């Protein structure tokens, strides 16, 4: 048995023990103080390096693997064209590798930024990226490639503001619909004002004759609205008007009209004209068979297939790695969609759910469009394969968007840890 006085003097674990430790700190010798300091340091480091959620590691690992696979295919598909341009065999690969070296650490840094930061500065992001896109279409700083004026050239720097618009717009949509959380079903309070604001960057992108990017941004917008909880009938109505507008815009340009006619009548396509690129891409895939001709052994990349390292990199992959390599690419995007859906399902806020949903529709939708173009299901639209195709601005913007989603996965883990019931405090007694 213990007396009441003895119990009051007995050491206790938990808050009482820490208080007692501070009170008796002066009575400890140097060795005891050193051991106590090391124990405290181990606890602090354990908190810093505490394991993230399974969704976090799944998304991070999958993203890093796709970036590495993309670098491998960029090297294999571009070294002939790089040498033909008078550069080093590794010129395009080194350029893409530099963007990956910048983008991957940036993704990890972005993943540590809390969601309130993005909600606070979303307005500024939309305004800034729209100003950059306006410089593209309304000033001599705009730079055109293949009939698309979609690049901004500032001295030696060449980048696409439209890729940055994707991030800014999906963050703004998430912020706006979070504020309208209780009025999401009211057309005039949620969907209508969101669409009116979104029309501004869509108009600026379309002004540069980039129908492909305009379609991807439109799909991303509808996906974000869907995962936010906007009623389905409103989205169907919006999608109908958007489809009609895209149809009109598709035939408003002679270049796009030629591409569409070559797609609708491939038997009449001139192998040296409008149907050249699609036919070369399909011939390359057919040459690959099941197991492929071997990594680096593609014949199409010997200046037969235009854009072999960008828009048509899937064709080179299927030729060199065969049906197995093509299916691997498809499975990678299926796995990416699965992980993003897991994060959406576990999201606790409208903001996280909306932004993650928009990013998922952006990346997966763009991959579907790119592959559909290569296999001949869509006319040529000029959109790259996310995380795999060559393209610096596209890679960095995609990695930044996935970094934001990673930050939501981290917050999910932290919220689960805070709501976990704490263990009962143990008490120690001294027997006499």
Are residues 153 and 249 both part of a single domain? yes
Q: What is the dihedral of CA 175, 181, 185, 191, to 10 degrees?
A: -10
Are residues 114 and 243 both part of a single domain? yes
The per-residue DSSP string of 396-418 comes to HHHHHHHHHHHHHHHHHHHHHHH
Are residues 255 and 303 both part of a single domain? yes
CA–CA distance, 153 with 135 (Å, rounded to integer): 10
In a domain, 431, yes or no: no
Are residues 18 and 135 both part of a single domain? no
In a domain, 22, yes or no: yes
pLDDT of residue 406: 96
Name every residue whose Cβ is closer than 8 Å to that of residue 296 and which is 6 or more positions away in sequence: 76, 320
The neighbour count for residue 368, using CB atoms within 10 Å, is 15
Are residues 16 and 96 both part of a single domain? no
Which pair of tokens denotes residue 419? 């709501």
In a domain, 242, yes or no: yes
In a domain, 269, yes or no: yes
Which pair of tokens denotes residue 186? 């009211």
In a domain, 426, yes or no: no
Are residues 112 and 153 both part of a single domain? yes
In a domain, 220, yes or no: yes
Boundaries of domain holding 41:
4-47
Are residues 68 and 11 both part of a single domain? no
Are residues 70 and 41 both part of a single domain? no
* Integer angstrom CA distances of residue 372 from 49, 213, 312, 381, 395: 42, 15, 11, 10, 20
DSSP three-state, residue 43: helix
Q: Vertex 351, ends 347 and 355: CA angle to 5°?
A: 85
Are residues 223 and 328 both part of a single domain? yes
In a domain, 359, yes or no: yes
| pLDDT tens, the chain, 432 aa long | 444 444 444 444 444 444 444 444 445 555 666 565 555 545 444 444 456 788 999 999 999 999 999 999 999 999 988 888 878 888 999 999 999 999 999 999 999 999 999 999 999 999 999 999 999 999 999 887 766 788 898 888 889 999 999 999 999 999 999 999 888 889 888 999 999 999 999 999 998 888 889 999 999 999 999 999 999 999 999 989 988 988 888 777 777 777 787 777 765 655 555 577 888 888 999 999 999 999 989 999 898 888 899 999 999 999 999 999 999 999 999 999 999 999 999 998 999 999 999 999 999 999 999 999 999 888 888 899 999 999 999 999 999 999 999 999 988 776 666 665 554 444 444 443
pLDDT of residue 12: 43
pLDDT of residue 382: 84
pLDDT of residue 208: 85
Report the number of distinct structural domains present in the chain: 2
Are residues 33 and 114 both part of a single domain? no
In a domain, 114, yes or no: yes
| Closest listed residue to residue 126, CA positions, set 42, 251, 217 | 217
Are residues 57 and 80 both part of a single domain? yes
Are residues 159 and 82 both part of a single domain? yes
pLDDT of residue 44: 42
């Amino acid at each position: 048995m213990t007396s009441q006085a003895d119990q009051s003097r007995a050491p206790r674990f938990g808050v009482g023990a820490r208080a007692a430790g501070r009170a008796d700190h002066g009575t400890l010798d140097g060795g005891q103080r050193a051991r106590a300091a090391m124990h405290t340091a181990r606890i602090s480091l354990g908190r810093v390096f505490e394991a993230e959620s399974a969704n976090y590691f799944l998304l991070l690992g999958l993203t890093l693997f796709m970036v590495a696979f993309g670098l491998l295919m960029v090297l294999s598909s571009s070294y002939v064209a790089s040498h033909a341009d008078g550069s080093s065999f590794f010129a395009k690969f080194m350029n893409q590798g530099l963007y990956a070296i910048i983008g991957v650490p940036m993704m990890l840094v972005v993943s540590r930024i809390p969601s309130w930061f993005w909600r606070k500065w979303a307005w500024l992001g939309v305004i800034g990226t729209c100003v950059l896109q306006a410089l593209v279409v309304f000033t001599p700083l705009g730079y055109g490639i293949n009939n698309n004026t979609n690049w901004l050239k500032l001295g030696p720097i060449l980048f696409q503001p439209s890729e940055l618009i994707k991030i800014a717009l999906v963050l703004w949509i998430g912020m706006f619909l979070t504020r309208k959380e209780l009025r999401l079903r009211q057309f005039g309070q949620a969907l209508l004002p969101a669409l009116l604001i979104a029309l501004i960057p869509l108009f600026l992108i379309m002004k540069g004759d980039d129908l492909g990017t305009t379609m991807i941004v439109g799909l991303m917008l509808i996906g974000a609205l869907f995962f936010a909880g906007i009623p389905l009938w409103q989205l169907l109505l919006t999608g109908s008007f958007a489809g009609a507008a895209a149809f009109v815009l598709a035939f408003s340009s002679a270049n796009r009209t030629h591409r569409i006619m070559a797609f609708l009548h491939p038997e009449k396509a001139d192998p040296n004209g409008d149907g050249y690129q699609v036919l070369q891409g399909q011939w390359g895939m057919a040459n690959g068979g099941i197991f492929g001709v071997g990594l680096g052994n593609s014949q199409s990349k010997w200046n037969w297939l235009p854009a072999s390292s960008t828009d048509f990199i899937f064709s080179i992959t299927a030729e060199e790695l065969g049906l197995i390599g093509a299916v691997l690419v498809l499975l990678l995007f299926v796995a990416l969609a699965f992980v993003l859906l897991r994060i959406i399902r576990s999201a606790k806020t409208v903001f996280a759910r909306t932004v993650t949903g928009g990013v998922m529709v952006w990346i997966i939708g763009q991959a579907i469009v790119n592959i559909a173009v290569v296999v001949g299901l869509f006319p040529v639209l000029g959109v790259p394969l996310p995380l795999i195709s060559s393209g610096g601005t596209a890679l960095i913007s995609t990695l930044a968007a996935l970094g934001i989603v990673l930050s939501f996965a981290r917050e999910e883990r932290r919220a689960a840890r805070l709501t976990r019931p704490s263990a009962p405090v143990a008490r120690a007694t001294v027997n006499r």
